[in-house]
Amino acid sequence: MQVIERPLLGHVGLGGAMRSWHNLAPAELYEHATARGEANIVSSGALSADTGQHTGRSPKDKFFVEEPSSQDKIWWHTGNRPISAEHFDQLFELMAEYIRANEVYVRDLFACADPRYRLKVRVVTQYAWHSLFVNNLFIRPSPEELEGFEPDFTVMALPQVRADPSLHGTRSETFILVNFARRTVLIGGTRYAGEMKKSIFTALNYLMPEAGALPMHCSANVGEAGNVALFFGLSGTGKTTLSSDPTRKLIGDDEHGWSDEGVFNFEGGCYAKTIRISKDAEPEIYAATNSFGTVLENVAFDPDTRVPDYDDGSKTENTRSAYPVELIPNADLSGRAAHPSNVVFLSADAFGVLPPVARLNDEQVRYFFLSGYTAKVAGTERGVTEPEPTFSSCFAGPFLVLSPETYAQMLVERLHKHDAQVWMLNTGWVGGAYGVGKRISIAHTRAIVRAVVEGRLRDVETRTDPVFGLAVPVAVPNVPSEVLNPRSAWPDAHAYDQQAQRLREMFEANLARLAEAGAVEPTEED
């Protein structure tokens, strides 16, 4: 296939022809990426690339353009920073200059498996492997659907284009600019491919509520009886791992919408963490990671044998694989399912306080959803070198465009309407805090999840957790009783009590900050 010279970006204000490689097949992108020195083919057949300085997202470098159509709707806070339309135009012109002088890769894709909410997305990239990445992660149109494709949203990802903070109003050379009026995202100064994926998720967090669907940072699967389960959680809490169950069909591993018709995947692929991945613990993900067409990020490999070393975190703990959902054998390729009967909030508790499983009442659902507590895993964001506690509203703080209360209210309404039960699962530490205790066994977590999604814990005997008043099951099949009671697992019960009180105070302080910022409606506890 020859490079195409045609006008492809007139809809975003870049007229004239551009030299582009348009919708190349994965094998062609392999050839381009290796010939250009962008990536290497490893022994498994996957394509391995390094992202350089940026091994995770750069949330402090994301900005929303101040413009009349969206500026009164956006939840402005330290994570949603404004930038002027003039600065956007200046950086857009820098990108236009790059495109006029260089060949680029163009990919036309869909977001949202439900056609009623579908977003047509055009992604322009500097790197061939970036084009393969988005091809894996988004929904791939048929040849017929590509005919006359006109995008609703455009992402331009050109790492070589860097900002000058003194001229362009940015924090650094890196920038992620979202312009809802122009339906355009500009990404520069970073090779981390996850920025492209999350920029569209950010856009959907703005667009979906108005369309009547709740955007969710969650994975989803469905059992043979049609019982759907959602798994909310931040990176490293188990969204991908726990939703990849050989006894259930995978809907998606990260981003979904919940409409009046049911649940639908925003994406067409999976973006799995690979650090210390094993064939025994995660067989489906391991097989997909070691497949032709998969993109590996920052995974070390032997220079002679090209065998990947998934235990090597020397580049980052945030090593990743990006693959089409079709590589998961039991995936539901429709990307759609009915309304969920169980919703799970995942938290990797670095304090070792939360119980492994608890059933939530209505008040606790809102409390834990708005809190979005977990431990930020090393390498997921720049500057984080060891786990630390964090709060992320709706388990999606960096991607929320509207007030968290908007999403929380939509969730509560859907839970009531469809009689869905909500559970809190701690996939973090037991028997002590991080550095003293140990991470809960994935086998025990899987046993808990299996009992939850099969409905075996709905009416079981519970005890009341003294810290948050949670209803904790007294017994779960194949899980030791001492695991279910975190206080008894600590060698010093008094030390547990002190740690628990500290964590509770952190929750309260976080919700107080949100209320002060106008992000949530104050309650008596706030």
Whether 240 is catalytic: yes
Secondary structure (DSSP) of 106-150:
EEEEEE-SSGGG-EEEEEEESSHHHHHHHHHHSBPPPHHHHTT--
450 is in an annotated binding site: no
- The reply, when asked if residue 427 is annotated as ligand binding, is no
Q: Report, in angstroms and rounded to the nearest whole number, the Rg of the chain calculated over CA atoms.
A: 23
70 is catalytic: no
Out of 239, 248, 376, 444, the active site residue is 239
Can you read off the two tokens belonging to residue 343?
């919703």
Write the CB contacts of 68 (distance below 8 Å, at least 6 apart in sequence): 181
Residue 127 CA, distance from chain mean position: 22
For residue 57, indicate whether it is catalytic: yes
Question: Does 79 carry a binding-site annotation?
Answer: no
Which of the following is catalytic: 235, 347, 374, 393?
235
456 annotated active-site: no
Any binding-site annotation on 279? no
| Residue 392 is among the residues annotated as catalytic for this protein | no
Determine if residue 273 is labeled as part of a ligand binding site: no
| Catalytic residue of the set 57, 140, 191, 248 | 57
Is 217 assigned a catalytic role?
yes
CA 353/CA 258 separation, integer angstroms = 31
- 276 marked among binding-site residues: no
- 57 marked as part of a ligand binding site: yes
Tokens 């104050």: give the residue.
522
Q: Exactly one of 320, 339, 359, 444 is catalytic; name it.
A: 320
Core vs surface per residue 324-334: b (16+ CB within 10 A) or e: bbebbeebbee
Instruction: Check the annotation: does 439 bind a ligand.
Output: yes
Q: Which two tokens stand for residue 278?
A: 């094993």
Report the candidate in 97, 71, 119 with the shortest Cα–Cα distance to residue 186.
97
Whether the CB-CB separation of 168 and 87 falls below 8 Å is answered with yes
217 is in an annotated binding site: yes
Q: Is 78 annotated as a binding residue?
A: no
- Please report, as a single letter, which amino acid is at residue 454: E
State yes or no: is 320 an active-site residue. yes
- Both tokens of 296, joined, read 């590996």
241 in a known ligand binding site: yes
- The reply, when asked if residue 239 is annotated as ligand binding, is yes
Among 198, 249, 359, 382, the active-site one is: 198
Catalytic hit among 199, 240, 243, 380: 240
Q: How far apart are CA 262 and CA 417, in angstroms?
A: 12
Active-site entry in 108, 245, 253, 254? 254
Active site residue 289: no
349 in a labelled binding site: no
Annotated binding site for substrate: 57, 192, 198, 320
| Binding annotation for ATP | 198, 217, 233-241, 282, 320, 439-440, 445
Annotated binding-site residues for Mn(2+) read 198, 217, 254
Indicate which residues carry an active-site annotation. Answer: 57, 198, 217, 235, 239-240, 254, 320
Known binding-site positions = 57, 192, 198, 217, 233-241, 254, 282, 320, 439-440, 445
